[in-house]
Amino acid sequence: DAKTTQPTSMDCAEGRAANLPCNHSTISGNEYVYWYRQIHSQGPQYIIHGLKNNETNEMASLIITEDRKSSTLILPHATLRDTAVYYCIRRDYKLSFGAGTTVTVRA
Amino acid sequence: NAGVTQTPKFQVLKTGQSMTLQCAQDMNHNSMYWYRQDPGMGLRLIYYSASEGTTDKGEVPNGYNVSRLNKREFSLRLESAAPSQTSVYFCASKQDRVLEKLFFGSGTQLSVL
C-alpha cells in the first residue's frame, strides 16, 4: 500500500524545466505533501511542501491538483547540480521515504 | 551552523560486535529520527523520538536500541551487529510536531563483516 508513487527515473536537459510527478491518491484533506532530494550519498534535503495551493520558493515550485491526488515538482531551470534522487512523501508515523525518482540532468 | 552532526562517518564492525552511533543537533529541535538506507533504496525509519524522554519504534527497529540522552542528542546502538545491518545510517531532526521539515545529518556508512 504505497503512500506515494513516483517514476523510477527521468532525464532532463540542462537549462530546461524538470517536471517530477507524484501520485498520492489516498491523501486525506489536511495532509501535506513534502518533497526532498538526495544528492549522491548526502543526507536528504528538504525542498518544499504544500497542502492545497501551489507553492514556490527559491528551489522549486509545487503544483497540486485540485483533487489533491497528485502533485508535480517543477525545477524551472535544471542545472547539473540538480542531478539527485527526489522524494515525494506524506506525513506518516513511519516517515519512510520510498525509492523516489532518480533525476539526471544532462548537458 | 553545524545543524545535525553524526559520528562516526565510517565504521567497520565484525559480526557480533557492538557500537553506538551518535547524533547531535544544535537547532533546539524537539523531534529526532534514525533512518537506514540500503543501496539503491529509500530511507526506512528505525526509531524516532518525538520529544526528550520519549522514543518509539519505526518501520525497522529490530536489532537496534536508542537513547534520547537530552534534547540535543539521540544515539543508536547495535548490540550485536549482523551483516544485514550493513547500511548508511542517517539521523534527522525537526522542530514542528506537525510539519515534516526534516534536517538530516551527513550519514554514517557502516559495514558489518
> Percent of chain B at pLDDT above 90?
82
Q: A42 vs B42: CB contact, 8 Å cut-off?
A: no
Enter the DSSP assignment of A80: G
Between A20 and B39, residue with greater pLDDT: A20
Q: B104 vs A45: CB contact, 8 Å cut-off?
A: yes
Cα separation of B80 and B112, whole Å? 10
Q: Smallest CA–CA separation between B9 and chain A, in Å?
A: 11
- What's the Cα-to-Cα distance from B27 to each of B11, B73, B99, B106, rounded to whole Å? 26, 11, 16, 16
What is the reported pLDDT for B56? 93
Which residue does chain A place closest to B60, by CA atoms? A94
Mean pLDDT of chain B: 93
**pLDDT tens readout for residues A13-66:** 999 999 999 999 888 878 889 999 999 889 999 999 999 889 999 999 999 999
The mean pLDDT of B30-57, rounded to a whole number, is 92
Which pairing describes strands B43-49 and B31-37: parallel, antiparallel, or unpaired? antiparallel
The mean pLDDT of A72-101, rounded to a whole number, is 89
A interface residues, B as partner, C-beta within 8 Å = 32, 34, 36, 41-46, 49, 87, 89, 91, 94-100
DSSP B4-44: EEEE-SEEEE-TT--EEEEEEESS--SEEEEEEE-TTS-EE
A and B: number of Cβ contacts within 8 A? 58
Q: Smallest CA–CA separation between B53 and chain A, in Å?
A: 18
What is the reported pLDDT for B107? 96
Q: Smallest CA–CA separation between A64 and chain B, in Å?
A: 17
Q: B45 vs A94: CB contact, 8 Å cut-off?
A: yes
Cα separation of B97 and B105, whole Å? 19
Cα separation of B92 and B105, whole Å? 6
**CB contact at 8 A, B81 and B72:** no
> Percent of chain B at pLDDT above 70?
97
**pLDDT tens readout for residues B59-85:** 899 999 999 989 999 999 999 999 999
Interface test with B, best of A4, A48, A96 (most B CBs within 10 A): A96
Which residue does chain A place closest to B109, by CA atoms? A41
